[in-house]
Amino acid sequence: MQRCGDIVSRQALYDGWTLRAAPGAQVPEEIAGRSVPATVPGCVHTDLLDAGLIEDPYLDDNERALAWIGRTDWVYQTTFDHRAGDDERVDLVCAGLDTVATLTLNGVEVGRTANMHRGYRFDVRPLLRDGNNDLVVTFESAYRYAEAQQERLGDRPNAYPEPFHFIRKMACNFGWDWGPTLVTAGIWQEIGLHAWSTARLATVRPLVTMNGRDGRVELHVEVERVADVPLTVRAIVAGARADVVVPAGQRTAVLTLTVRDPELWWPRGYGDQVRHPIEVTLHAPDGVTLDSWSHRIGFRSLRLDTTPDEHGTPFSLSVNDVPVFVRGVNWIPDDAFPTRITRDRLAERFDQAIAANVNLLRVWGGGRYESVDFYDLADERGLLVQQDFLFACAAYPEEEPFASEVAAEAAEQVTRLAPYPSLVLWTGNNENIWGWHDWDWQQALAGRTWGRGYYLDLLPRIVGELDPTRPYWPGSPWSGSEAIHPNDPAHGTTHIWDVWNTDDYTKYREYVPRFVAEFGYQAPPAYATLRRALSDEPLAPDSPGMAHHQKAAGGDAKLQRGLDAHLPAPADFDDWHYLTQLNQARAIQLGVEHFRSHRDVCAGTIVWQLNDCWPVTSWSAVDGDGRRKPLWYALRHAYADRLLTVQPRDGGLALVAVNDGGTPWRASASVTRVTVTGEPRAKTTVHLDVPAYSSVTLALPADLARPDEGCRELLVAEAGGTAERALWFFAEDREMDWPAAAWDATVEPVDGGRRVRVTARTVLRDLTLFPDRLDASATVDTALVTLLPGESTTFTVQADGLLEPAALTARPVLRCVNDIA
Ligand code: BMA
């Protein structure tokens, strides 16, 4: 065991673990009686995969054959060496166990757990022996536990036929409308021995606020002690220090530190992300350091304005007194097996979000309380984070043991995440209050508990007590009052799902909500992702693998409905793949541009969803292999600081210039009505003068806004500087009189890839290059480019392999809408 003075010494227990099915379990022959090496932290599925005992659950329909894993009890076992020291306590510390575990040390039970979202600590000093020690963690099947609770407490309605609401475990593990059903078990976070004497820091909770220009840190400390002596807690941050004595017999202390005029932490796009180290130490009466804790904090103020106004109830976030229009994306676990998500992978995903001009991630309530790496990266990169408490799409029981588990879990997580400046909002649940209102739950519940007490009483009390610096909102969606429908767009946050489920995406224009916390549209993943995951030959929209990797109810029919409304009929799978991806991008671009054009009323949009957890047809912008779908490029455009967009207004059309940057936007903009063969029919030039963080709406003259021949004309609006062009069409693509596409293309080698230059001989509608069809490693810098005759564009392709020029400039790699007959 490592020693450093008298400070708590920590011994990680990551080595020597093995895994086996519990005796008597009903498992396949090759598993029964076998013991395999286990990775800790890790989970059963990934261990069995590493041992070559199961097929990759993400490929084809392998998932189906692996359901037995979640129904099995599993035994993790290791032997570790230990030498007794003088420590008064030696604790077995488990940061996360998934989920229903019994722990024994040297044959003696040390504890039982049933909550994946909590950490546990057991005093094991009396059980340790010099030399070899045997640690066994047995996981009971999560299904068996959940089904027993369901039986005992009475069923409760939920969105999927799985008992995920009867166990405190990542809900989407039981399958979702974008996720596989792979019910895990395992030691999913750090595990080790902590040896200490006298006392240790049990929790440290810095609450950071601004008082004018001064930063204020109210530091709440809890100690655990074995000796009744006075202790000293010392804290230091940005040159400020404080000391406090915790008298014998007491467990808590509060220190207040004031930092004069600190450099502030800002969300990205608004300023720098300055962080200040904070060091906390605990001292014995003789001055010896017993324990220490360090972190980085950020000074920033935070306000959520929900004071009713003439439009309803706003939902407007301000950081450092600057209102931030939220350009958000919803975040789901990036892998169905969370222990595979490395810091590098999170960093890559965050950088993809940032490059798409995103400024907020909402951590959705069917996943997890996100990791240290997640929050540290968000702090570092200036991404704001909204964290849901972990309740999603179900009525949750409030009886024991759940009430106590939820209270303990919430207190632990609110404390753990208090130091991170990126965390700006806690939400009570995902869609559960809405579900109770609208999804026929009330009759089915017959008066049983459903979670109301969590969202409207317990959780706000815990946040209010432990972290009053952060706003709490009872649900997503939520209107601010039980007297108002929870999904009323005029009040608080709203989810818009009639678009996608039943209505065309142009319906987004019927909403001028205060804040859209979810809206989304599906598309398949990238071609290379499909090819890696599916062995269907040929691939078809309904081939077996495609069908298995589409989890949404009626998903394919909804995709088809969207295509029928807008686009020409696909002739083959390649057309279908391109057009469904294009339609997803169009739907969300239309929604975001519309909502942003109403930024006086609407204070934010959170697109459903940034990422995926496996290869699947879903609402994501980045697929399960990390490849960007066309939606990602559309999002980058629609979420740019400066957005030029043509919007219907008052029976005509308007040019709206939205400026979410910190400097005024002054430019001259031209708007031309032009035919599909490139002849201008009408033109106007306007002057844009858009202050920072605002928008300007300019009505367009009637001669521009009204076409002579709707199916042969479009509007092209352009402003100098950073804004790309805005287009407006008077008819759907399927009605447009598009000329057959023709272009000239050149390909030249560049460092690490190829540059493809395309010159349009005809109009080219949403020209997109899919280099992953030639080389799975290939990426491209731009997509969805519409060119008028004579115009050119350049695609820069990065790839490991050599890409054949002829293939790179022809279907199905380079294509546009009007290459479809
Ligand atoms: C909402 C989300 C998710 C779901 C998505 C797509 O209900 O909160 O639960 O995956 O819509 O259906």
Quick one: which atom of ligand 1 is closest to the CA of 364? 8
User: What pLDDT was estimated at residue 2?
Assistant: 38
Ligand 1 site residues (CB inside 6 A) read: 176-178, 366, 392-393, 430-431, 518, 608, 619
Which residue type is seen at 784?
L
Q: Which CATH class name applies to 743-819?
A: mainly beta
Q: How far apart are CA 342 and CA 496, in angstroms?
A: 32
Instruction: Kindly report the protein residue whose alpha carbon is nearest to atom 12 of ligand 1.
Output: 177
Percent of the chain with pLDDT over 90: 98
Tell whether domain 311-528+599-638 is in CATH 3.20.20.80. yes
Q: How far apart are CA 90 and CA 110, in angstroms?
A: 13
Instruction: Kindly report the protein residue whose alpha carbon is nearest to atom 9 of ligand 1.
Output: 393
Instruction: Kindly report the protein residue whose alpha carbon is nearest to atom 6 of ligand 1.
Output: 177
Q: What CATH number has the domain spanning 198-297?
A: 2.60.40.10
What is the Å distance from ligand 1's center to 178 Cα? Answer: 9
User: What pLDDT was estimated at residue 559?
Assistant: 98
Mutate to test the pocket of ligand 1, among 518, 611, 620 (most ligand atoms within 8 A of CB): 518
Averaged confidence pLDDT in the chain: 97
DSSP-derived secondary structure for 255-272: EEEEESSPPPB--TTTS-
What is the Å distance from ligand 1's center to 177 Cα? Answer: 7
CB neighbours of residue 277 within 10 Å = 11
* pLDDT tens digits along 539-563: 999 999 999 999 999 999 999 999 9
At residue 4 the predicted structure's pLDDT band, cuts being 50, 70 and 90, is very low
User: What pLDDT was estimated at residue 491?
Assistant: 98
* pLDDT tens digits along 285-335: 999 999 999 999 999 999 999 999 999 999 999 999 999 999 999 999 999
- Torsion sign (Cα): 92, 97, 99, 105: negative
What is the Å distance from ligand 1's center to 680 Cα? Answer: 44
What is the Å distance from ligand 1's center to 613 Cα? Answer: 14
Quick one: which atom of ligand 1 is closest to the CA of 392? 9
* pLDDT tens digits along 42-64: 999 999 999 999 999 999 999 99
Quick one: which atom of ligand 1 is closest to the CA of 552? 12
Mutate to test the pocket of ligand 1, among 172, 431, 550 (most ligand atoms within 8 A of CB): 431
At residue 6 the predicted structure's pLDDT band, cuts being 50, 70 and 90, is low
CATH of 642-735, one of 2.60.40.10, 3.40.50.720, 3.90.1150.10, 3.20.20.60: 2.60.40.10
What is the Å distance from ligand 1's center to 79 Cα? Answer: 43
Q: Say whether pLDDT at 85 is over 60.
A: yes
Instruction: Phi first, then psi: give them for residue 707, nearest 5 degrees.
Output: -80, 155
Q: How far apart are CA 357 and CA 690, in angstroms?
A: 19
What is the second-level CATH architecture of the domain 9-194? Sandwich (2.60)
Domain ranges of the chain: 9-194, 198-297, 311-528+599-638, 642-735, 743-819
Q: Say whether pLDDT at 3 is over 80.
A: no
CB neighbours of residue 138 within 10 Å = 18
* pLDDT tens digits along 709-730: 999 999 999 998 656 799 999 9
Is residue 326 within 8 Å of residue 384, measured between CB atoms? Answer: yes
User: What pLDDT was estimated at residue 801?
Assistant: 86
Is residue 202 within 8 Å of residue 223, measured between CB atoms? Answer: yes
Instruction: Kindly report the protein residue whose alpha carbon is nearest to atom 10 of ligand 1.
Output: 177
What is the Å distance from ligand 1's center to 561 Cα? Answer: 19
Joined together, the tokens standing for residue 298 give: 């950020």
Instruction: Kindly report the protein residue whose alpha carbon is nearest to atom 4 of ligand 1.
Output: 177
Element (H, E) at 704: helix 702-705
Quick one: which atom of ligand 1 is closest to the CA of 608? 5
Do the domains spanning 642-735 and 743-819 agree at the CATH topology level? yes
- Write down how long the chain is: 821
* pLDDT tens digits along 186-233: 999 999 999 999 999 999 999 999 999 999 999 999 999 999 999 999
Is residue 655 within 8 Å of residue 701, measured between CB atoms? Answer: no
- Average pLDDT of the segment spanning 337-350: 98
Instruction: Phi first, then psi: give them for residue 500, nearest 5 degrees.
Output: 90, -60
* pLDDT tens digits along 656-691: 999 999 999 999 999 999 999 999 999 999 999 999
User: What pLDDT was estimated at residue 723?
Assistant: 64
Is residue 17 within 8 Å of residue 40, measured between CB atoms? Answer: yes
What is the Å distance from ligand 1's center to 326 Cα? Answer: 20
What is the Å distance from ligand 1's center to 408 Cα? Answer: 27
Is residue 176 within 8 Å of residue 431, measured between CB atoms? Answer: no
Q: What is the DSSP letter of 322?
A: E
What is the Å distance from ligand 1's center to 653 Cα? Answer: 33
User: What pLDDT was estimated at residue 721?
Assistant: 62
User: What pLDDT was estimated at residue 722?
Assistant: 58
At residue 7 the predicted structure's pLDDT band, cuts being 50, 70 and 90, is confident
CB neighbours of residue 310 within 10 Å = 5
Q: Say whether pLDDT at 254 is over 60.
A: yes
Categorise residue 49: left if φ over 0, alpha if ψ from -120 to 50, beta otherwise. Answer: alpha
* Residues 736-749 as b or e (16 or more Cβ within 10 Å = b): bebeebebebebee
Q: How far apart are CA 475 and CA 467, in angstroms?
A: 18
Mutate to test the pocket of ligand 1, among 162, 172, 497, 521 (most ligand atoms within 8 A of CB): 497
Instruction: Kindly report the protein residue whose alpha carbon is nearest to atom 8 of ligand 1.
Output: 430
Quick one: which atom of ligand 1 is closest to the CA of 520? 6
- What angle (nearest 5°) sits at the alpha carbon of residue 22, between those of residues 16 and 28? 105
